[in-house]
Amino acid sequence: MWAIFAFFSALFAALTSILAKIGIAGVNSNLATAIRTVVVVLMAWGIVF
C-alpha cells in the first residue's frame, strides 16, 4: 500500500513543478518562490485544520 502512496506522491510533486513553471513563466523568480510558499503553507494549514 505504501508503494502506491509513494508513487502518487512523486507523480503529484512532478506535476506541481511542471505546472508551476508553466504558470509563472514571466514572473520574477523571487515573487514566484513567494507565491509557491504561500500556496504550500495554505495547503498544509488546510490539511492540519
Closest C-alpha to 43, from 13, 5, 23, 21: 13
pLDDT, position 22: 86
pLDDT, position 33: 85
31 contacts: CB under 8 Å, gap ≥ 6: 24
pTM for the full predicted model: 0.55
The pLDDT tens digits along the chain (49 residues) read: 999 999 999 999 998 888 878 888 888 889 988 988 998 999 999 989 8
pLDDT, position 38: 93
* % residues pLDDT > 90 (the chain): 39
pLDDT, position 29: 84
Residue 24 near residue 35, CB atoms below 8 Å:
yes
User: How many angstroms separate the CA atoms of 16 and 39, rounded?
Assistant: 11
